[in-house]
């Protein structure tokens, strides 16, 4: 019954995640067919915004895929997807400017960005080890505690929960980082004359749709975290 309840709760969030993914693709496709009046491509936009903001030593590269755009701070690269790099659409320049928004966050020391960067290695470890540790802890708790009274299994379960929690925290901190990057993008696009005020709402729709995917992912991760925590607490209560 507990598992059935978990599935009932999870289904709406999975549906939201699917909707968010479909929406970002459909919104990008719609405004990718709308050329911007400045005729600047995603690449042009990234290069101009970097130069106008006094940022040096960042390369702008083309990478494979659609909407695979990202900023790699360690390599000092802004990587634009094939759907963004050479396109002179409203959608393309919005996405490119969003990635430059992340560059500016790093340059200006934006606190949530700094926190997210610090969480990256911990969250990567947590996402890989959390579930194996929880499962191993349950096995040890069932098999070893009854015979020896050892709490090693329980400790392992709580370590797994803590590690998974870092992944949830990472996704939670990601939300203000992404929303802030989008706000920065909108301001820069208008200030530099890349988009007009009339074109800006279209760019905001593209960026808002992309942000929804982060919200959906965070909610799904939170539900799984609460589920794992409930399982561990149930073992402790039964003991």
How many of the other CB atoms lie within 10 Å of CB of 210?
21
Q: Is 149 left (phi over 0), alpha (psi -120 to 50) or beta?
A: left
Whether 99 is a known active-site residue: answer yes
**Dist CA 22 CA 32 (whole Å):** 15
DSSP lists the bridge partners of residue 61 as 79
9-33 in b/e burial notation, b at 16+ Cβ within 10 A? eeeebeebbeebbebbeebbebbbe
CA nearest to 224, candidates 9, 25, 33: 9
Tell me the two tokens of residue 209: 């749709």
Catalytic entry in 99, 178, 192, 199 = 99
For every residue of 50-76, DSSP letters joined together read HHHTT--S-EEEEESSSS--EEETTTT
CA distance 153 to 134: 9
Q: What does the alpha-carbon distance between residue 89 and residue 41 come to, in Å, rounded to a whole number?
A: 7
Note the Cα 221 to chain centre separation in Å.
Answer: 12
Active-site residues: which are they?
99
């Amino acid at each position: 019954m507990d598992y059935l309840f978990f599935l009932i709760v999870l289904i709406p969030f999975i549906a939201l995640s699917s909707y968010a993914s479909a929406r970002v693709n459909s919104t990008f496709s719609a405004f990718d067919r709308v050329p911007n009046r400045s005729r600047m491509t995603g690449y042009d936009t990234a290069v101009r915004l970097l130069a106008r903001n006094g940022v040096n030593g960042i390369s702008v590269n083309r990478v494979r895929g659609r909407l695979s755009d990202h900023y790699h701070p360690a390599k000092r690269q802004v990587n634009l997807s094939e759907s963004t790099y050479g396109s002179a659409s409203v959608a393309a320049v919005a996405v490119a400017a969003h990635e430059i928004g992340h560059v500016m966050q790093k340059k200006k020391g934006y606190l949530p960005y700094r926190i997210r960067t610090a969480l990256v290695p911990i969250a990567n470890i947590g996402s890989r080890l959390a579930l194996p540790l929880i499962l191993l802890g349950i096995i040890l708790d069932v098999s070893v505690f009854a015979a020896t009274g050892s709490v090693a299994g329980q400790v392992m379960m709580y370590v797994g929960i803590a590690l998974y929690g870092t992944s949830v925290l990472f996704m939670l901190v990601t939300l203000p980082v992404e929303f802030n990057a989008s706000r920065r993008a909108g301001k820069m696009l208008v200030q530099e004359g890349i988009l007009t005020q009339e074109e800006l709402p279209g760019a905001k729709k593209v960026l808002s749709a992309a942000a929804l995917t982060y919200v959906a992912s965070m909610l799904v991760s939170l539900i799984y975290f609460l589920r794992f925590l409930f399982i561990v607490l149930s073992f402790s209560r039964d003991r």
